[in-house]
Amino acid sequence: MRRLLFVANWKTHLGPDEARAYLKTFLAQYRPTEGREVWFFPPAVSVEAVAQTIRHQAGLLAGAQNVYWEPKGAFTGEISAPLAAAAGARAVLIGHSERRHVFGESDADTERKLSAVLDAKLVPVLCVGETLAEREAGQTLGVVTRQLEAALGRRQPAALQHVTVAYEPVWAIGTGKNATPHDAADVHRDIRRWLAARGAKTPRILYGGSVNLKNAAELLAERELDGVLVGGASLDPEAWGALVRTAAD
């Protein structure tokens, strides 16, 4: 049976009370479905509220949008992977394009974070993707491969099994311009080949970038997509509830 993962990235929205109110609406119409999972990535201050609210719900999980690589210490303003885990996170986004392009996170940083996340027994969701200029210069594969190599190149196959990769072209995030299913699938195939060559047999590869209720079915009809990572369109609990029910075979 096809497994699908729906990831909601709330970015810098929804504090603890708003997160609980959101989940009340979402859970009122949520029915667990075999083969489907829904993961929520709230801002750090709301991770515990989300994790607590969904703790008895099948198919749902809370994650953190970012962590620092050191487990603890004098790093004012940061949270670590063990702290995220203590708040109830089970997964962490790594290398989201806003981390890379707004906060200057480097490829080397993604490797340190990935290592810390695996050490804390959390699931890394590694985000990769090219800018518009890189795409137009025909560099998509080169950029994605460089990002994979930096973050995962030194990992053993057993560790790679635990990694989820999200292909998120930078030009598609928050712009209303999604990649076509065909274009996304081409890059997914390359990512899958790269992972398979290093011993990861059944990696999960998500597509992210302006996914919404209108285009989700068409994107998910492409079987290279093991799910979607959604920002803006995950902020309305009713629309998100409908999106995670999107028909796909």
Q: Which residues are catalytic?
A: 96, 168
The single residue listed with the structure tokens 């109110």 is: 21
> Residues binding ligand PEP: what is the number (CB under 6 A)?
15
- Is residue 168 at the binding interface for ligand PEP, with CB under 6 A as the rule? yes
- Is residue 210 at the binding interface for ligand PEP, with CB under 6 A as the rule? yes
CA-CA distance, 84 to 44, in Å (whole number)? 8
Residues 165 and 205 sit within 8 Å (Cβ to Cβ): yes
* Amino acid residing at 163: V
> Looking at 49-57, 60-68, 130-138, 227-235, which segment touches ligand PEP (CB under 6 A)?
227-235
Instruction: Name which of residues 112 to 141 contact ligand PEP (CB under 6 A).
Output: none
| Helix spans in the chain (H) | 16-28, 47-53, 81-86, 97-101, 107-119, 132-136, 140-152, 157-160, 181-197, 216-220, 237-243
> Looking at 50-58, 77-85, 114-122, 166-174, which segment touches ligand PEP (CB under 6 A)?
166-174
Residues 6+ apart with CB under 8 A from 104: none
Work out which of 87, 128, 150, 173 binds ligand PEP, going by CB under 6 A: 173
Work out which of 4, 8, 9, 226 binds ligand PEP, going by CB under 6 A: 9
Which residues make up the interface to ligand PEP (CB under 6 A)?
9, 11, 96, 168, 173-174, 208-211, 229-233
